[in-house]
Amino acid sequence: MKKILILLAVLSMMTSSCDKEYLNPSTASDVQVLTNADGLITVCNGLQARFTTGGALSPLYNTVAAGGLSTRELRIINVGNIEEFNISLGAGNVTNLNGVVRNLWTQSQLVRANADLVLANANNAADPGTRSGIVAYASIFRALAIGTLAQSFEQIPIVTQANAPFVSRVQALQSAVEQLETAAAQLNTAPVSADFNSKIIGGINLPNTVQALIARYSLMSGDYDKALAAAGRVDLASRSVFSFDELARNPIFEVAFGNRNVFEPTDVNLGLTGALAPEAGDRRIPFYTRANATSTQNLGTGFYSASAAPVPVYIPGEMLLIRAEAYARKNDLTNAVLELNRVRTSTAPATTITGGLPTAPPGAGLAPYAGPLTQQAVLLDILRNRFVELAFHGFRLEDSRRFNRPGPGAAGSERNRNFYPYPRTERENNSVTPDDPAA
């Protein structure tokens, strides 16, 4: 998709990754780029390009790599990849000079800052339907950037200014949700125009993605009622994907799963043991891993099987598991099990697009939940199903913390860090950067 790469170059002119405050030092002025609908749509396309492409630079790559290597979902193949190797070691081996951490932080902040620029200038799009598309698209990538950071760091800045103040990860997630709610209201008032749809990179269903992200980030911030309602508004037959091709390549395939040089799944059980180990016959395991991989094949597959393989922004099973978890945390165990069983007992085939590339995994094909009807037991099975259903999506570190699994220093530790240190580039340029977390 040559257009993506061209638009990424435009966005790079607008925002320098070396600029300490994520400002706009560009030669392409705001007047030129942000004062009309076409310019705003160009920047919107650049948001997706920066978030998803660029191989090991992209937030998409780094959130999958960091979360997976910190929780033993993934294992290092070649220790010469020192940045990823240190993430896999965890603890003090992950310093504020680590490249995975730095790229995760800096590129996500660039996406967030440029999304805020679009939102601040969205009224320059005269047509209401085009404007609602621009607001929704920018709100989605602002939320993805903030959510990516909130999964990895205790606090983050969510404004662009000198010595930008940090807020808690929960406050950051709430800010993302509030903006998504604004976008949802605007979409209801003015459906997206044909002009916007003809000029934006395809693949993302705006109304459903807005609701899916409200559900995801409300769950992470502890607002279970809002998570339930939003997940229930997502059309489970809809699909939203990041699109790739031979020029703008799927970053996990490009860097890792397309070779045996960087990392791969720990094993066919996704590194899960004991009560969290996948059940026999789970149809999702052969979707995400190659049981009979040759010496030249990476064990990992799923949504990272080809350079042009699309990556889902969300999958239907995530929405069901959000509802199951929210009900369980409200101690409504009957409804929690009903939603959980919609995931466990599904026998739907993997959803594919032209060329057979998947956009959703197959149903698990398991028996209904038969464990104790207690909050602890139901939540444990929900977590086990999240770890399998959402393998290699980058959620495992966040999930491990939220479900209070054994952390660094605890017996049977399932993760080697809780949060990452703030990159040195931020600390050197922002005097209010908090102390690094102990682990």
Rounded Cα distance between 139 and 40, Å, is: 13
Tens digits of pLDDT across the chain (439 residues):
444 444 444 444 444 333 444 444 334 455 568 999 999 999 999 999 999 999 999 999 999 999 999 999 999 999 999 999 999 999 999 999 999 999 999 999 999 999 999 999 999 999 999 999 999 999 999 999 999 999 999 999 999 999 999 999 999 999 999 999 999 999 999 999 999 999 999 999 999 999 999 999 999 999 999 999 999 999 999 999 999 999 999 999 999 999 999 999 999 999 999 999 999 999 999 999 998 899 999 999 999 999 999 999 999 999 999 999 999 999 999 999 999 999 999 999 999 987 899 999 999 999 999 999 999 999 999 999 999 999 999 999 999 999 999 999 999 999 999 999 999 999 999 999 999 999 8
> Virtual CA dihedral for 186, 187, 188, 193, nearest 10 degrees?
120
Residue 418, token pair as written in the block: 């809780």
Q: What is the set of domains in the chain, with CATH numbers?
A: 2-16+33-316 (1.25.40.390)
- CA dist 229 and 210 (Å) reads 13
Coil/strand/helix, residue 93: helix
Note the pTM of the prediction, 2 decimals.
0.94
